[in-house]
Amino acid sequence: MGNSPLKPETYALSDHHHEQDEKKRRMKIEPQKPVKRRLDEAETARTRRLFGALVSHLGSAQKNLERDKTRRETQLQAESNVQERIQRESAQALKKSRQDWFQKHHEEMNERDRILTRLSKVEAQLLAKKYLRINTPLMHFCRTRANPSLCWLPAIHNEHSSRLLAISADAVRADLSARQAALQFYLTELENQLQVKLTKRTSLPYTDEHKNQEESVGINMRLSHDDNNYTKEHNNELYPHSDKEHGNEDFIDEYHHAKRRRC
């Protein structure tokens, strides 16, 4: 059977398949464009309102963040200033407290030195009166030249014994006068040294060295140390050589010997 020609319907179907294949091929090669969705006026207005509200909220949030940041910085600065002021006032209060303690300690030490100086004066005056009371009657006795000297009195005076009695009386009076001068010199030295101590202690400024001493050494230990050194100061620093130069070493030695004997 021979080939029969195609019908017109067959040609139309073939062209249709060819167009679909071409369309699929173009869809694979070229990207599809989004289809615009048509919105009505009410939906468009609602979208615009939502967008405006979102933009407004974001703006308000940004302003709030900036305001909170500024407020926080101001608060931190204020807290820092308050902390610095508290530390400064605490340091000033501590310094004033230390200065007050230092001044009070000076006043206590000054009063102690006044009392001890007054006591030393009274003891020296009592010893001088005792020496005067014991040696004044010796003016009526003759004294030997040999050491230790002996006092004697003849039953009947002659020219030689009267002359020896006058010499012994003059020696006793000279000795009493010298000791009275030594006593006055000793009392003057005590007063002068007391004034020097008071002046030096009053003009002494409060420094970090004194603060370190306060922290490392207690006041009781310092007072005890000062009490132990007080006699040494008076013996060795107040009048070490001046008394010997003026011939007062006997009185000073006897004074301190009496103090040690009392203790």
Q: Domain spans of the chain? A: 110-262
Q: Is the per-residue pLDDT at 90 higher than 80? A: yes
Proportion of the chain above pLDDT 90, given as a percent: 22
Q: What angle do CA 257, 258, 260 make, to 5 degrees?
A: 65
Over residues 17-36, the mean pLDDT reads 62
Residue 141 token pair = 């006795």
Q: For the beta carbon of residue 164, count every other beta carbon within 10 angstroms.
A: 19
Interacting residues of 179 by C-beta distance below 8 A, sequence separation 6+: 128, 131, 132, 250, 251
What local confidence, expressed as pLDDT, does residue 241 receive? 38
Residue 185 token pair = 């010199």
What local confidence, expressed as pLDDT, does residue 192 receive? 94
Q: Is the per-residue pLDDT at 141 higher than 80? A: yes
pLDDT, tens digit, 9 for 90 and up, residues 218-253: 444 444 444 444 444 444 443 333 344 334 445 555
Residue 143 parent element (H or E) = strand 142-143
Query: Among residues 155, 174, 173, 154, which one has the least CA distance to residue 164?
Result: 154
Q: Give the type of residue at 6.
A: L
